[in-house]
Amino acid sequence: MIVVDASALIKVLAEKGPAADTVRKRLVGEALAAPTHLDAEILSVLRGLTLSGKLAVDRAEVAIGLLEIMPLERVPAQVYLRRGWQLRGNHSAYDALYIALAEALSCPLITSDARLARGNIAHCEIELFV
């Protein structure tokens, strides 16, 4: 089991190239988990990419379709609110919930967010893919 955050998953869903391929290879064959807010984060990023012209609308729609069928366990964030709150000094609420879930599952967190990876109070392995 691994926890994947929106920054890493957006590479898989909407990007091409070596960085995206590296993340894809890391996720293949793994059981994936994420807090339920991941879907909203992905939609927000896709919206921003399409509005800025960096991603075609049809490509974003394909990404949404892939997200809908992705075998990803979505875990209710409310279970990890207390730990997320404890991490508030070093991480955003969204990032803290990814960390809290990875800690609870005793598994690595896959991210493409260097800022998240720099936080030094997580009790889980954080794998950074940039």
Residue list for the binding site: 5, 95
Annotated binding site for Mg(2+): 5, 95
Residues 6+ away with beta carbon under 8 Å from 37: 77, 94, 97
Q: What span, in angstroms and rounded, lies between the C-alpha atoms of 97 and 37? A: 9
Query: Is-contact 24 14, C-beta < 8 A?
Result: no
Instruction: Dump the DSSP string for 35-67.
Output: ETTHHHHHHHHHHHHHHTTSS-HHHHHHHHHHH
What 3-state DSSP class applies to 108? Answer: coil
| C-alpha torsion 81→86→88→92, nearest 10 | -40
